[in-house]
Structure 1
Amino acid sequence: MRKHLIGAAGLAGVTALLVGCSSAPAQSATTEAAPTPEQIKALFADWNTALATGDAQKVADRYAPNAVLLPTVSNQVRSTRAEIVDYFEHFLLNRPSGEILDSHVAVLDADDAIDAGTYRFSLTKDGRPTTVDARYTFVYEKIGGKWLIVNHHSSAMPEQA
């Protein structure tokens, strides 16, 4: 299993490389067709559906065994399934529902893609509805025929809208 270590600078470098690349779809060694950007964007809907179940285990199932989560409302880096489950057990108490505001997909090859942009979460805190806008990066890898999150970074917007 490949490890993905992509920070903000790495993502910028990958994006810059992709801008200069041919528009021909990437092919893996097995000549499997690369996914479309729309297929990668749809992975967020699957993740959001898992959030709606209120089950932290179902959300964690969307992450690869070696995934790293840099969550929005915790300072702790989550790099094990148990840590990811722990984060979502607390986060799901707010009944979150996400909406993509701006998405930029980079399909790297048939098995790897990045979706980065901004999203808005509707939450219920202390019985009152609220929203939080945040930046996100999802790095996906197709493992055993299933698209999984290998790296997820989310951080609240630093400036007021």
Structure 2
Amino acid sequence: MKAQVFSLLVTLLLASGCADQPNRAETSPKPDANNSQQVATGNTQVAAANPEDSKKEVAAATQKWIDTVTSGKPNVVGEVVKLYSPNALLWATVSKQKRDTSQEIRDYFEVFAKLPELKAQDYKPVIRVYDNVAINSGYYTFTYRGENNKKTVVPARYTFVYLKDNDGKWMIVEHHSSAIPQPPKKLKPAVD
């Protein structure tokens, strides 16, 4: 099943011409009521939405993830796991292993989402939409109370890949988040 989801994502990205159009959300014509695009997702079809509306929805979905994971609520783990597709893949910020089952994702958030005083700041997204697939890549910084009650700061980079489900909800199908490494001294910074 995971191979089918990955194959579908690759097919959708290739079919949408993402290699030729780095930000299709800004260049695609808006579908009209008489000619809406259809993208197959399993046994269902979902009409492609206005790319600018989709970008806003994806931004809201990512903000919901941030707000949920840092909420500190008693049911935080269950609420975060609901944001991921059942077939999602997670390369988590403070874990060395990939997690590709709902239980493994749950196990990660049992620890991460319960870090004392967990907060996210400096969220800087770059969102691209390709019909019913969206990619949100950027930066965020996590802070929490670590050992000896010391504030721990983890600047990280991330990529969320979303797929719109049959109900029109953007679900996380892949999430990679990693601490930003120290660059070699000779490497010049890119203009950001």
- Same fold by TM (over 0.5)? yes
Structure 1 unmatched ranges of 5 or more: none
Deviations 1:44-98 (A, max 9, x none): 1111222113521111110000000001111111000000000000112314222
Who is 2:60 aligned against? 42
1:8-157 maps to which residues of 2 (within 5 A)? 16-19=19-22, 22-25=27-30, 28-29=37-38, 31-34=47-50, 35-51=53-69, 52=71, 53=73, 55-95=76-116, 96-109=118-131, 111-126=132-147, 127-145=149-167, 146-157=169-180
**Superposition RMSD on alpha carbons, in Å?**
2.8
- Local SS of the residue matching 1:42: helix
Q: Which runs of 5+ in 2 are unaligned?
A: 39-45, 184-188
1:31: how far off? 4.3
Structure label with greater radius of gyration = 2
Question: For the residues of structure 1 that align with 2:121 and 2:82, how far apart are their CA atoms?
Answer: 20
Name segments (4+ residues, structure 1) moved above 4 Å: none
Q: How far apart are the structure 1 equivalents of 2:145 and 2:154?
A: 11
Tell me how many residue pairs correspond in the alignment.
155
Q: Distance in 1 between matches of 2:18 and 2:138?
A: 13
How much has 1:122 moved relative to structure 2? Answer: 1.9
Q: CA deviation at 1:38?
A: 2.5
Displacement of 1:100 after TM fit?
A: 4.6
Shift in Å, 1:123: 1.5
Percent identity, aligned pairs only, is 34
Deviation at 1:125, TM superposition (A): 1.1
